Amino acid sequence: MPRTPEQNKLLREKTSKKILEAALKLFARKGFHGTSMSDIAEAAGVSKGLAYNYYKSKKHLLEALLILMQEMSNQVEIVMNKSDDPFEKLKLIINYSFKYVKDNEEFWLLYMGIIFQPSVLKSSVLIFDEVYDSMYKVFEQIFRRIGMKNAVAEARIFGGLFDGIFLGYLMNKDKYPLEKVRKQMLKRYSKIELQKLL
């Protein structure tokens, strides 16, 4: 019995997702240049021709992954909007970000790889600039509402802490005290501690 259009659509989505997941794992582990379309097809359990049918090249696969990363980063704003209190917003951002990095290690490895090799894909630099600019604006607004004198610098420090912490964690996951660091960051950005700086 032939498949219905709905079944065909679901099958295409499932295959596309398998190819993307395989590409993400391989790009994170072997790097963009160290991964071939044959590697990706094999890891996804599809033929090389079928992989090319879905994605014209490794570059297109990477672009699709970057768009997914951008969509995932938009979740921070959704999470943050659960509260109107600026101190609570910082707490929500910290908790969400630490959970996100643990649940999406391969995305973070890919992200770090691209940051240190922006020549891999010029459009990746534009996507990251967009993501960073929007996040820093959100952070600045929070620090302004708190009453920090230099909200721009505070936003950069806050965002930079995440990059440094998560890079350290990904480089040495087995020994990195991620949970202790999360708790310390929550303490440092608590209402009690921040009000001391006003």
pLDDT higher than threshold 90 for residue 181: yes
Residue bearing the bigger pLDDT, 77 or 154: 154
Provide the whole-model pTM. Answer: 0.78
Q: Print the domain residue range for 90.
A: 65-195
Q: Tell me how many degrees the CA angle 131-152-142 measures, rounded to the nearest 5.
A: 75
pLDDT higher than threshold 90 for residue 9: no
Q: Report the percentage of the chain scoring pLDDT > 90.
A: 38
Q: How confident is the model at residue 99 (pLDDT cuts 50, 70, 90)?
A: very high
Query: pLDDT, tens digit, for every residue of 10-30?
Result: 778 888 888 988 888 888 788
CB atoms within 10 A of CB 153: 12
- Domain with residue 174: its CATH number is 1.10.357.10
On whether the CB atoms of residues 44 and 21 are closer than 8 A, the answer is: yes
Verify that 40 and 82 share a domain, yes or no: no
Verify that 35 and 85 share a domain, yes or no: no
Looking at 13, 31, 56, the residue that finishes a domain is: 56
Verify that 163 and 107 share a domain, yes or no: yes
Q: Tell me how many degrees the CA angle 35-127-140 measures, rounded to the nearest 5.
A: 135
Q: How confident is the model at residue 85 (pLDDT cuts 50, 70, 90)?
A: very high
Q: How confident is the model at residue 125 (pLDDT cuts 50, 70, 90)?
A: low
| pLDDT computed for residue 117 by the predictor | 64
- Domain with residue 41: its CATH number is 1.10.10.60
Verify that 36 and 127 share a domain, yes or no: no
| pLDDT computed for residue 122 by the predictor | 62
Average pLDDT over residues 53-60: 88
Verify that 50 and 115 share a domain, yes or no: no
Closest to 55 (Cα-Cα) out of 41, 43, 69:
41
Phi first, then psi: what are they for 56, rounded to 5°?
-60, -25
Total domains present in the chain: 2
